[in-house]
Structure 1
Amino acid sequence: MPSFFSKTKSATTPRGGRVTGDNNTSAKSRRLRIFLSYAPDWALTIVLWGVFYLLDKVNGYRRLFDVTDTSLAHPHADPERVPVWLLGVLCGAVPAVIIIMTAAIRRTFWDAQSGLLGLILGLGLVATFTNIVKITVGRPRPDFFARCILPEDLTQNPLHGLTSWTVCTQTDDSQLQEGFRSFPSGHASFAWSGMWYLILYLAAKMRINNRTGYTYKSWLLLAPLSCASLITISRTMDYRHHATDVIAGSLIGIAGAWYAYRQYYPPISSPQSYKPYSPRIPKDEEIPLHHRPNRSSTEHMLNGRNSMAVERISHHHTSDNSDNTLNGQQPLNPNSNSNGGRQGWSTVDIGDRTAYGDGAEDDHGEAKETVPRPVERSV
């Protein structure tokens, strides 16, 4: 008998509907629909990384330069202070591991999926956009002369003009090609995208804006902030980028991280900022059925009728006074203490099951770990 009822009993959804059928089968079907709905997002992020890789092979624009420009005469640093593989570990792998560990501690797979998808989306968007701008602008790096290897007898520009890259004696075309990719800084944009996303994620999880003022939260957030700053500064120390290059790259990374984070999480100023948005597939896709009205629901309906009556009276009568009177008398107010001091009717919404205290159990814990998406209504 218990097993029979466990399979046939219909669960009530938070919106007042009832989900019929086997609960286990329905849950598995919903998980599959959720996976299929987010599969294109993962596929698109992979495509973006593929585009980034292909763009890196494109031979972009190469600007003219001034052979007397001392800002291009810095030495070529080899090796770099922060190579590409270390950048990927610090600003890509480390935030991903922290997101997974945080979700594991909170025991919510949905938070891990939302956090990782947002992180990969932000990094992919920033890396692709930065590379597009790089190959289009074609600005020489500060160590361009060391890459170009100018002829020793070339000491001035052509008459009434600037010098072209064709005068370079560099035989390695990849070195020369990289010499024209200074703006904006890819290290800076990638570092700030990963670290700023991590800052938003941790700030929300620690509820940084709950007005309790714990100082350890600020010190913890200083770690990713310092990491992104030091990586950005190292690009000017290695003479790979100008100051304006790293500034522009940092702004691109911050904007991309914020955009990607807000796709899956509310703002950190929200009281529920530590929760991701709920999945696209709602729990109650069936036609909602009204649950049995209790006392609060009956009082709400009676209150609604009284309110309609008051609106009808107010619409058909005029008042000569300016103190909200109706033909010299006070209008009816169902919420007042009239009629012998009786309290007014409650205004609890019939569809708001959380007002009765039974919404969280019917949601199987999802409402505790997600923020409901706004319902789009057609006018």
Structure 2
Amino acid sequence: MSEGARPPRVLLHAFSTFKLGGPQARFVQLANELGPGYRHLIVAMDNCFDAGERLHPAVQWEPMRLDVVKGGALANRGAFRALLQRLKPDLLLSYNWGAIEWAAANLPRVVPHVHVEDGFGPEEANRQLPRRVWMRRVLLGWNGVSVVVASRNLERMATGVWKLPSRRVTFIPNGVDIPPTARPFSAVAGRPVSIGTVAGLRPEKNIARLIRAFADVRARRAARLIVVGDGPQRAELQALAQQLGVAADVEFTGYLKDPSARLVDFDLFALSSDTEQLPIALLEAMALGMPVVATRVGDVGDILSDVSPDNLCEPQDGPFAATLSRALEQQSQWPAWARAGREKVQVSYAKALMITRWKQVFDGQLHRSSAASKPLDP
């Protein structure tokens, strides 16, 4: 380090897992863009650090394996608190409910803390669990923790249900790369139409809904389905495709280091989730210039309301199958939907906007001025 150079800020990131998912993919983007000015200590409650392979060599990061006690929401508080007292990072960042024990470990406060909420698992898809509401209210509210949320829906939840003060809650939307040009459209007449999705194969993503809708489509026309991602439901979903007689036309790619690279193989992107907030894969597809069909969950309705509102539906099997089929019959509209979607992402969800705001977070400046708590200008 040259004389007078600032030592890197030490950030301790607490995840439930460091397998590749939405929060982990965003962290990788940020760490790669912001470079060696930060030293990242990564803890994962399951001691899995697979997402680290996507970090650039210049990124200073260290996976920290812990002896995690399972079974109690506060079982690890003492050990985690001792670690915070020993390491004294410049900032603790905890991600979602799966890392809430770190908020408990930092009460009373040992180090500055930002808690990040990206969404919920299937157990909270339809309603908030009272015990978790109370714990968030106590652990985040009573300790004055700054909270970053990835959607307007979560912002409303944090202030209205968890009763956190609005001045401590900041909305920072996910952002994605905008390719310099939209991909050219290729006619699908005379070849199978390619429907695709990018998702963890978990219950809340409801890929089964997509496979059932695809089976309806496949009964009437040549089509293929590409499912990019892996997860605990993979074998079950492959069995469902076999049972419905479409296994030969459904590709399960498994885990990919760069899942977005397969987007170019899709004609249409489909999101079938029961719960989402601000899905990165959906934004990436729109940035590329691709029509999308999606369930109305989280902020997805706001995103598509002035892009292709008829391609939204409630998260139910019947409406989703009907919406997908209707979109496939309206291919003359695809270029218009694609242009509107790409423009939406350019204005509101570009990666450069996200990085500017997250640099404030990493630098500990999130709530040092009133301006820092204002939402991003479009």
Larger Rg: 1
Write 1 or 2 for the structure with the bigger share of helix: 1
**Shorter-chain TM-score: which interval?**
under 0.3
Write 1 or 2 for the structure with the bigger share of strand: 2
What is the TM-score when the length of structure 1 is the normalising length?
A: 0.22
The higher-RCO structure (CA 8 Å, 6+ apart) is 1
